[in-house]
Amino acid sequence: MNSENESKTQKQKFVFNCTKCGTCCADRGPIPLVMSDLIRWAKNKVVANMMPYLKFIKTPQGTVDLVLGRKDLDPYAFLKKDQKDKKKEKDEARSCPFYNKEKKECLIYSNRPLSCRTYPLEYDGKKFLVVNTDTCPGIGNGEMTKEAKLEMRDLAKQMNKELTEMRIAMPILSQAFQPFIIQELMEAQQKFMKELEKMPPEERERIEKEMMKQQMK
C-alpha cells in the first residue's frame, strides 16, 4: 500500500469526540502559539490575560517556540532529572496554566490556541498524525461526521503552515528587534538619570542604595 492510500485509510479511521477528561490539558506540555492566536487575542482584548504565561522555549528538537507555559518552570527539565524526580516536575511544568484541575475546565476555551483546536490531530506537512492515542479517551469515541473531519484536517494543516512560518520568522524578527530594544532601554535610562538629578540629595541617595542592593542580589 502506498503512502497516499495509507493516508486515506488513516483519515477514514480517525474518529474523535472530546470527553472533557482534561488529560491533554494537564499533561500536554507547552502550547505552541502562532500569529493568528496573537491576532485573535488582540481583537478580543484578552492579550493582557495571556501575557504572564507567554514565554520562549527551546524544544528538544532544537526549535525556538513562543508558547503558553509557566514562566518559573522549564517544561523539558524533567528530561535531565533522575527518574525519581521526573514525574513530579513533569506534572507541574506540563500542565496548561489556564487549566482548572479541580473543575476540569479550560479557563480560556473560547480563546484557546489553534494547536488546542486541532488536538489530537496533527499534520507534519506530508501526512496526518494522531497523537496521544493511548491516553486520550476521545479518540475512537462515538461517531464523527465528514464535515467535522474535514474541519479538523483543515485546522491541522493551518497549524502546520502557521507554526512553520512562525519558526522561520521569529529568529529574523528577534535580530531586527534587538537594536530597537537596546535604544529604548538607553533612552529610558537617560531619562531616569535626568529625573534622579532633579531629586533632593537624601531621596537620590536612598534610591541609589536600593539600586545597589538589587544589583547585588
Q: Please choose, from the candidates 19, 9, 13, the residue with its C-alpha nearest in 3D space to the C-alpha of residue 141.
A: 19
Q: How far does the chain reach from its first CA to its final CA, in angstroms?
A: 64
Decide which of 175 and 120 is more confident.
120
Q: Please choose, from the candidates 148, 125, 117, the residue with its C-alpha nearest in 3D space to the C-alpha of residue 31.
A: 117
Q: Is there a single domain that holds both residue 114 and residue 188?
A: no
Q: Is residue 162 part of a domain?
A: yes
Q: Is there a single domain that holds both residue 132 and residue 156?
A: yes
- Would you say the pTM of this structure is higher than 0.85? no
Contact 151, 158 (CB under 8 A): no
Number of separate domains in the chain? 2
Q: Is residue 186 part of a domain?
A: yes
Does 185 have pLDDT greater than 70?
yes
Domain ranges, residue 14? 3-169
Residue 32, SS3 per DSSP: strand
Q: Check residue 122 and give its pLDDT.
A: 94
Q: Check residue 93 and give its pLDDT.
A: 65
Percent of the chain past pLDDT 90, that is, above it, reads 41
Does 117 have pLDDT greater than 80?
yes
